[in-house]
Chain A
Amino acid sequence: EAGVAQSPRYKIIEKRQSVAFWCNPISGHATLYWYQQILGQGPKLLIQFQNNGVVDDSQLPKDRFSAERLKGVDSTLKIQPAKLEDSAVYLCASSPSSGRGKTQYFGPGTRLLVL
């Protein structure tokens, strides 16, 4: 079974530029998550989707971050405009459903460096 796919793996941009990340979850997984992991810290949830609907985006900086999950499968996370403090690893995860304690499986992440 293929795991969670993410692209690109690395991205370097200048501040105020825009960037987009792509995620393809494990086949059949209804729930998709985007996390931000700053160096030396644990991942922090940005947004959670159930199929193509948003379940929780309370920690998403909506003035600059946006995410969508069209057709309930792939998802994109966009930052516009980027700030220096957005330098982090962006992790995508998926789980079978929004049921009790479902295990989340993570992709390899996208390492973003904002100069």
Chain B
Amino acid sequence: AQKVTQAQTEISVVEKEDVTLDCVYETRDTTYYLFWYKQPPSGELVFLIRRNSFDEQNEISGRYSWNFQKSTSSFNFTITASQVVDSAVYFCALSEDSSGSARQLTFGSGTQLTVLP
């Protein structure tokens, strides 16, 4: 069975600090996909990134970067120079792909990030 663990329930930083959100996953599949979503107070889940299990290259998008390490089953998310608008709940999610069809997303419990001015 697949599982996603986000051990950090809440993180509070001061604006312009860097912050890393941790995500550890469990799966028996060799093909799977990892996602990060942002959920601002409005409630809508906003897609940030998708990685497949065969692509371990780190990715950078503006102030966001992601570190995928299969050896430790981790997919961590770093925000550089955080801003108040980054305050939200961030979810890591996993989708297995053993049958070649899209499988349900299994979400972690989320990390509430608060960026203080």
Question: Quick one: which of B4, B43, B97, B109 has the most chain A CB within 10 A?
Answer: B43
Chain B neighbourhood of A33, CB < 8 A: 104
Contact status A48-B43, CB under 8 Å: no
Check if B35 is an interface residue, CB within 8 A of chain A: yes
Q: Which chain B residue lies CB-closest to A46? A: B104
Contact status A101-B45, CB under 8 Å: no
How many positions in chain B have a CB within 8 Å of any CB in the partner chain?
27
Docked complex Cα distance between A89 and B39 (Å): 12
Docked complex Cα distance between A33 and B109 (Å): 19
Docked complex Cα distance between A55 and B104 (Å): 10
Contact status B102-A95, CB under 8 Å: yes
Question: Quick one: which of B37, B46, B105, B109 has the most chain A CB within 10 A?
Answer: B105
Chain A neighbourhood of B87, CB < 8 A: none
Closest Cβ–Cβ distance, residue A16 to chain B (whole Å): 26
Q: With A41-B109, A42-B110, A45-B104 given, is the CB distance from A100 to B43 under 8 Å?
A: no
Contact status B102-A109, CB under 8 Å: no
Closest Cβ–Cβ distance, residue A1 to chain B (whole Å): 13
Chain B neighbourhood of A75, CB < 8 A: none
Interface residues of B (CB under 8 A from A): 4, 31-33, 35, 37, 42-47, 50, 52, 91, 93, 95, 97, 100-102, 104-105, 107-110
Interface residues of A (CB under 8 A from B): 31, 33, 40-45, 48, 55-56, 89, 91, 93, 95, 97-109, 111
